[in-house]
Structure 1
C-alpha cells in the first residue's frame, strides 16, 4: 500500500504531518471514492475520470507492480490518490481498504465494485473450485467491500455501483459462473434498495457490453489457468474511456440501472418480452460464431 496522502476535500481535516494536494474542481469535487480493480482496465479509467472531476480516489488491485505503476502515474498527474493492495473476496482486506480511505481522506462517498474474474470455459468442463473462484469474485467481490464500507456510506448518504455485464441479462455460452455472479448483483442491488431506503444510499448496477481490453487481460479456463479473452468484433466494442464516462454519468445521476450499448438494450428487451426468441438467437449466433466463445 502506498503512503496515504491527505484529503483535498474542503472542510476536511488533513492527515497530520502531511501537506494537502491541490483541490481540483469538478462534478465530484469534495467526494472520496473507492474503485475496486482499478489497477487496470475499466476500473483504472473510471478512477482516472473520477480524479479528473475532483474526487479523491483509493486505487485497488491484487498485482503489486501494476498497482504501483498506476498509482505513480496518477500522482504524477496531480490526482489525489492512495492505493491499497487487497483481495476483495477477503473481508478483512476489504475492511483495510475502507480504513485506507478514511485514514487518507477522512470519509467515503462512492464505492464502485468493479473487480472480478471472468472465464472462457463450458460448465461441463469446469472444475468445481474454478466455478467457485469465478462466482466468488463476482458476488463476494462486491458484497464484502460494501459490507465494510456501509457505515461510512450511510453517514455520507453515498453511492454504490455494481459493475455487471449485458451477459447477465440473457446468459452467454462459456460464461456460466461469470453470468450467474453478474446476474446476482442486480437482485442484490434491488433487495438492498428496499432494505436501505431510509439511509439515502444510492445503489445501482451498470451492465457493461463489449469493451476494448488491455492487451494482457486474461480470464480463467476450465482448469483455472489464465487465457486470453475471447475475440470480439472491434466495431461492437466501446473504448474504456467511453465506458468509464457512462459509469460516472450513472453515479452522478444516481441511477438504478444503466445498460451500455444498443446491443445491451436489445438483449434486455428480447429477454423480457420474447425470451424464447432471445434463446434462439443466442444458440444460433453461438453455432455461427463459436470462435468468439472458445
Structure 2
C-alpha cells in the first residue's frame, strides 16, 4: 500500500501558534499555548520544555550559555518542535525585558511561565563569601521576580499560568545550602502572596518543590569561594529522572495546582516539619554527623 501523501502545513495568520506535532495523536494539552521556561538550555528546564513541546506548546528556550542553548534549540527543531531561544541572564531586568520581547516577536503571545533558572551551592554559611551568598540568592529570587515582572502584562492578558520551581530543601532547610534554601523558600512565599494580590487577574501561581533528581554530568554548584564544583552525592535510588520531574511539572501546570511536592521524601518532610518539627531537626542533625558526604 503506498504511503499517504503528507498534508500541506496550514497557513498561519500573524501571531498564530502552529499546533504541536503530537496534537493529532491526542497529546495536545497545551496546543495553541506559548510557554517560556527559564534555564531550559539543560537539565530539568530542558526536559520541561521538551515535554511542553510534545504536548503541543510553542516554547521559548532560555539560558546564559549561548553554545549549549543553540544545541538544545537545534535538537528541538530537528524533532519538529515550535521553538525559539534567547540568551539572557534572568538576574538582569533589562535582559528579561528582551527575553519577553523575543517571545512575543516569535509567537505573538505568552501563556505559561516556568521560572526554573537558578544556582545552587555546597558551602556552609560560616565559610561563604558574602558575594557568593548574594549570587546564589539573586539567582533564585531575582531570577524569578524579574522574568515574571517583565511578563506580567502579557500573562494577565492571557489569564496565564506561572510556576516557580522550588525545592524540598526550602521546606525545612538543609545544612550547606543556606542561600539556596532561603531563595527557594522566598519564591514559595512570593507565589502565595501573588496568588492573593493578583487573584482578580485569573493568573495561576503555583510552586513545585523538586526533590533529588538525576543531573547532567556537567552539573555544577558553587562552593564557599564561588568556584563551580560537582553536586553533593545523592543515592541513585532516591533520584527521579529529569523526564519524570518534567511530567510532574506539566501535570501541575495543567491542573493549575497551588503546590506540588515531588517525591515521598518531600511529602515526609512536609509532614514532619508541620507536626513534629523537633524530630525533623534531630533527623537532619543526625544525618549531618553520620552522612557528611550527603551534604558536603
Residue 118 (structure 1) aligned with residue 117 (structure 2): no
What pairs with 1:1-294 in structure 2 (closer than 5 Å)?
A: 13-14=14-15, 23-24=20-21, 25=23, 26-294=28-296
Deviation at 1:286, TM superposition (A): 1.3
Verify the 8 A CA contact 2:20 2:58 in the aligned structure 1.
Answer: no
Tell me which residue corresponds to 1:5: none
Determine the C-alpha separation between the residues in 2 that align with 1:231 and 1:288: 14
Return the alpha-carbon distance in structure 1 between the equivalents of residues 283 and 246 of structure 2: 29
Q: Please name the residue that 2:5 is paired with.
A: none
User: Between Structure 1 and Structure 2, how many residues are aligned?
Assistant: 283
The answer to whether the 8 Å contact 2:20/2:53 transfers is: no
* Secondary structure, counterpart of 2:208 in structure 1: strand
1:23 shift after superposition? 4.3
Task: Write the distance in 1 (CA, Å) between the matches of 2:12 and 2:155.
Answer: 18
CA distance in 1, matches of 2:191, 2:13: 30
**Alpha-carbon distance in structure 2 between the residues aligned to 1:260 and 1:31:** 25
| Higher-Rg member (1/2) | 2
**Would the alpha carbon gap of residues 12 and 30 (structure 1) be closer, same or farther in structure 2, given more than 3 Å must change?**
farther
Shift of 1:14: 4.4
Q: 1:10 to 1:122 in 2, by over 3 A?
A: farther
TM-score by structure 1 length? 0.94
Structure 1: gaps (5+ residues): 1-7
- Within 2, Cα distance between the matches of 1:268 and 1:188? 18
Question: In the superposition, relative to structure 1, how do residues 285 and 102 fare at CA in structure 2: closer, same or farther (>3 Å)?
Answer: same
Spell out, residue by residue over 1:116-137, the C-alpha distance to the aligned partner (whole angstroms, 9 max, x if none): 0000000000000000000000
Superposed CA RMSD: 1.5
Q: Which runs of 4+ in 1 moved over 6 A?
A: 8-11
Relative to the length of structure 2, the TM-score reads 0.93
1:220 & 1:134 partners in 2: Cα distance? Answer: 8
Aligned residue for 2:224, secondary structure, equals: coil
2:134 aligned counterpart, secondary structure: helix
- Cα displacement string for residues 64-123 of structure 1 (whole angstroms, at most 9, x for unaligned residues): 110000000000000000000000000011011111111100100000000000000000
